[in-house]
Chain A
Amino acid sequence: MPTQIELKGVTKEFGRNVILDKIDLKIPARKIFGIIGESGSGKTTLLKTLIGYWKPDDGEIFYDGRDLKRDMRYIKQTVGFATQDNCVYPKLTVRENLEYFGAMCNVPSATLNRNIDKILDLVELKHADNKLAEELSGGMQRRLDIACALVHNPKILILDEPTEDLDPLLRRDIVELIKKINENDTTIIITSHLLDETDSLCDEIAIIHDGKILEAGPTDELKDHYSKNEEVHIVTRGKKYKEIVRKLNKGSFDKAVVEGNTLILQSKDAEKLLSHVLKVVESTDRLIEVDLKRPTLTEVFESLVRKARQTKKEG
């Protein structure tokens, strides 16, 4: 997949605080790219530096090979940005906001009207297009903000914590919306500290900590690299977990632990283990629940951050 955005040694400081420290990053085109990190790790600063809101103190940023410093106008026309703050005018209606920001993004009026209708359908705000922004619910406001970021058909959409402060249902809606947008070949860069959400959404991720990129790459590769075990979770009626473990081949799993009512078996090949476990349980006890747990992004993240903290402590 071709690289759409490339950061080379990007550094940003506020006073004596180094917020971004020599960031090198490649973001592929037409993918969903996640930037994860703790609060205050530099995620938002990185995004705002990406769009030229902050000028890097050092380093270079390229969009499709174009230098951000020299071709700001092209980049602004190419990128859409939605922040955590819902950057809309509360006293304008949904449509008026879209019309205004479309005009600011040089969209011709004929195209703009078509775009607005399409985007309102996409973000499911058609029914509310004459409502004032301040009268919308939190989820609708977030969708309006994303709509405003999309009004000029950007190639790249940057979303800063798009599901922040939303309830689980609204969060799911936004995730679905992001996926729909990406289906139109729009590159999406998203930051979040909700790792499960990022895990399910992003094709590639970068983990940022203290202004430094700890690791970046395809999500699955990172998980494979940083988490060696998969898990099979079993709950039976008789709780005859000792007997079940004894009947299993010793080499088929690495470790067995009982947490509460659940037997957890760790293995490098959980799929193979699962079929074996099911046969043993059938002859020993009555199965109530079974689940196959793959390694999570949380594990990867925790592992990397722990390592970074350790290095910092030692250094």
Chain B
Amino acid sequence: MQSICYSKLQLYALFVLRVLIGWYFLYEGLAKVFTPNWSAYGYLIDSKGIFASLFVRLAENPTLLEATNFINIWGLTIVGLLLILGLFSNIGYIGAMIFLLLYYLSHPPLLFAEYILPTEGSYLWVDKNLILLVTVAVLMLFPASRAISFDNLLFRKSK
């Protein structure tokens, strides 16, 4: 691997970005942890696009719905923690991207798709989930923020 030299500013910018995305995921998870009987049912049932039937099936099968709820609540929380701490960052990044991809595919901002839940902006084909997905990919490919992370400690030791 070719050596990359980051300026301090670049390093801190990437670090802050990682922590903020982590914060976003962690609170999404915690908010669900603290909402009694939180369920993805309403969100899933409102799915549109070519994968809609898949997501609706998730909602309608009680076992699958329970699993989906569990994965969402704890998956988001854990991804958030990993990104904030910089612990096993790659696992965190990949987890985050999987979640974002699923959210994007279940609610794609299609030309004529109308969702029961109103969005807070106006989107056509590209929405914030997609942008965030690419942002996480960038973070993963430019791992400068590892300078400030638990990974730094772990992998230094293993070295």
Q: Tell whether A and B belong to one assembly.
A: no
Q: Which residues of A contact B (CB under 8 A)?
A: none
